[in-house]
A and B are shown apart, each in its own frame.
Chain A
């Protein structure tokens, strides 16, 4: 059985008066993999725990499938959850850990055995079934935690930072595996992480949260290409997007030529965002800006390099990502080129993205 999830104006206020979630509306389609991402304290975990039924809902409504589940016990919501620290029952074998939820629901012994063995095969943990969690490595425990969610064949999977206790290499490996499993099972999934790369690679859609509110919802590429706010712009993508005050381009060397190109920026633009890979050493065809800057630090990272530079005139720091290893030396004065459409204009006060209104105007015209 599968189900959609619908959040309507969800709020969470703690007894002390602290508001962790300040009105969230979201719809997750049947079979969709949605990632909640944001810095710590943004309310993403609280939101997930509200969906799970581990936190009460202060205001708003929550639907799983067609049922309103606000007041239902976690066990009645047809969900399964993978916890950050796995929360495996330390005194039970792996088999019993997987079987516990089924036993509590009154499944027959044969059915329990069949499901546990199937999940164990899928996760390649058959050999560990008779062991206790303490005899397993971190990665193996993680698989058991996944298995416990799988055997239940729930309508919804909930993941609460399930990979954050693993080392970097295992994390990448498990990330791929989770994605593969979800593709195969097509179970609606809600996944919480603070790691933007994990979010980008896993999610069908991302929900970027900040301060208890949604900043932006969209596919990973939509969000990467068109961040809705300065917050999203700097949170998604690594190295982070460069932010330049418009004034830094309209003064100093080349200001005149810049002025001509930047004339059609939407009114109110105060800050321009530039992805580190949008700055090029070779001049592109067509209209573009050229910035001159001094190379302060050169980082070679194998397939790519990061150039930390300082803009001539304003002294603004910028980071540039290029493929391979360009022949440059620290201290050298360099020229970078950027096309007009690679600029992300943000409002000088609200920090919201502006070209959307520009586009709509163009479309209207």
Chain B
């Protein structure tokens, strides 16, 4: 370890504190804004210290939303987001585990073909094929439903790859021992492979939950009924309110509430998050 001089160490801390401040700045501003009274913004610039209206702003958004801007109560949108994020996460995990299991532990005709078929989904983000995908979902009658919000997003090449990589590192002998012990494929999957994958599943859960929660374009397209609005897209509805400037104190209360769940997930599961992030990209 090369020793660092105290002075340069001080400079390093200053750089980091500045970096942290920069990263925190927008969120601090949002929190401050969400605690102001309605008229506060008409007076020119934004105050830099919190006001005393936090409770009423948050309660107003949680319970009634911004009806003039066509945004339902945030409480309801958060619930919708939660359902969508969990459905996408669980769906992706389940179908990826199953397909990785098939690809690694079986030999069958067209195995390589299926592998590439799944691989292709990696190359086709929803953003580049918006209209035909929308068309398919509309034809299937899945607009304005949780199924429509989640199912089209649950195919996952990334998760399949991660599990495939992990399965390849599971010692051969465990499979052999299990077969001598009389375990068939499904029992091996349930009793041996799944318990061994727990850490990987948890790490991926964190990443996929954030992915699901932060979906924006897709809910925007397929929900016209405000009962199915998710919170991330709902906020955009609020900022584009028809009559002039948005009601920033309320919008920011919604922003804070929308950002909180995934941020909490990262803060409390940082180790799993880092593992999930760095391993999905390998």
Contact = CB atoms under 8 A, between A and B. Distances in A.
Q: Are any A and B Cβ atoms less than 8 Å apart in their complex?
A: yes
Interface string B92-116: 0000000000000000000000000
A84 B177 CA distance: 11
Contact of A89 (B179, B187, B192): B192
Nearest to B187: A104
B196 A73 contact: no
B173 A85 contact: yes
Interface in B180-200: 180-183, 187, 191-192, 195-196, 198
Interface stretch (A74-82, A279-287, A297-305, A308-316): A74-82
Nearest to A101: B181
Nearest to A104: B182
Contacts, number: 59
Interface in B187-235: 187, 191-192, 195-196, 198
B187 to A, nearest CB: 7
A118 to B, nearest CB: 18
A54 B178 CA distance: 11
Contacts of A89: 174, 177-178, 191-192
B176 interface: yes
Size category of the binding interface on chain B: 10 to 19
**Is the contact region of chain A dominated by helix, strand, or loop, or is it mixed?**
loop
Interface string A162-203: 000000000000000000000000000000000000000000
A261 B3 CA distance: 81
A38 to B, nearest CB: 21
B171 interface: yes
Interface of A: 52-54, 73-75, 79-81, 83-92, 100-101, 104-105, 148
Closest 4 CB pairs of A and B: A87-B173, A101-B181, A75-B182, A104-B182
22 contacts: A54-B179, A54-B180, A74-B176, A74-B179, A74-B180, A75-B179, A75-B181, A79-B180, A81-B177, A83-B177, A84-B173, A85-B171, A85-B173, A86-B173, A89-B174, A89-B191, A89-B192, A101-B180, A104-B182, A104-B187, A105-B182, A148-B177
